[in-house]
Amino acid sequence: MKNLIDIRNLYTPIQPTVSQSAKSVSYAERLPDIQLQPYIYCYWELKTNHKLNEPFNYKVVADGCIDIFFDLNQPEESFVMGFCKKYTEFELEDRFHYVGIRFLPTMFPALFKINAIDLSNRSQNLDAVVPQIAKFIYNNFSAHQTEYQVKLRLDKYFLNHIKEINLEYDNRLYHAIDIILKNFGVLNIEKDLDVGLSTRQLRRLFEFYIGDTQKTFSQVVRFQNILKAKPSSQSLKQNKLFLDNGYYDQAHFIKNFKNLYGVTPNKAFGR
């Protein structure tokens, strides 16, 4: 990893909708072992604190990452969710205890030699993608385990994996990602990503390691930067926010934001 950019320090993938959940549902993120932090952004947990009166609608915003997730109550079923260019909704049951592994952009394909474009804009059974991880989850997790026990088992598995593989990467891809992240996704894709590759060659790398084009990834980075800024109602009403983030006008900004989040900016920030 010494030649790769430090994506973690340049990019913070935020999932804000869970903070708006009712008191009956809780969400938490935890750091993996420090040796895993260049690859895995976090382990996350989404669970009911008691049985709900009705199914729970869980909304996931576009964040540029690939996640593995499973319910501790049913570890025989595990899933992987690829890069998504719009928000995704899941209707969950009245009781659940999900555990997830959120990989930083490019890291899931790099670690497991999986073409990210094959995973994009959907979730699918993990057994059909990386069966060895699905088998590990099935054999090592159950409903009675504590958060600490879950973390230790995940750490041990992925630490062993990174010791056994030879990580291959293309410096030109990571140079392009570095440019996108340092410009918060606001740049001219054709002119600013001069990394020694043609647009078509760079697109192939982005599709394999990210799951979509450099343009779409930049749009998600730009969107995530707005979430991180937590704009006030005043800045939303003024032109400054969307102009600073490369949008042509307010209508363009609202449409793009709603596609990635699921609601308008005013409703999302609620102030």
pLDDT digits (tens, 9 = 90+) for 36-74: 999 999 999 999 988 888 889 899 999 999 999 999 999
pLDDT averaged per 10 residues in sequence order, the chain, 271 residues: 74 81 83 97 94 90 97 97 95 94 97 97 97 98 95 98 90 96 93 93 97 97 90 66 70 88 85 55
Q: How many domains does the chain have?
A: 2
- Shared-domain flag, residues 13 and 76: yes
Q: Which distant-in-sequence residues (6+ apart) come within 8 Å of 125 by Cβ? A: 77, 78, 79, 80, 134
Query: For the chain, how are helix, strand and coil distributed in percent, rounded to 5?
Result: 45, 15, 40
Domain boundary among 112, 134, 164: 164
Please compute, for residue 173, the number of CA atoms within 13 A of its CA located in the half-sphere on the CB side: 22
Query: Which CATH number do you get for residue 259?
Result: 1.10.10.60
Examine residue 2 and state whether it is found in any structural domain, yes or no. no
Q: For helices 171-182 and 199-209, what crossing angle results, to 10°?
A: 90
Of 149, 164, 179, the residue that ends a domain is: 164
155 and 38, same structural domain? yes
Distances (CA, A) of 14 to 11, 94, 104: 9, 25, 12
Per-residue CA distances from 29 to 15, 75, 100, 145, 166 (Å) = 10, 19, 9, 17, 28
Last residue of a domain, one of 134, 164, 194: 164
Q: Under 8 Å CB-to-CB from 134, ≥6 apart: which residues?
A: 78, 125, 126, 127
pLDDT for residue 241: 64
pLDDT at 250: 79
pLDDT at 70: 98
Contact assessment for residue 56 and residue 96, using Cβ atoms and an 8 Å cutoff: yes
Q: In a 3-state reduction of DSSP, which class is residue 168?
A: coil
* Domain that residue 138 falls in: 7-164
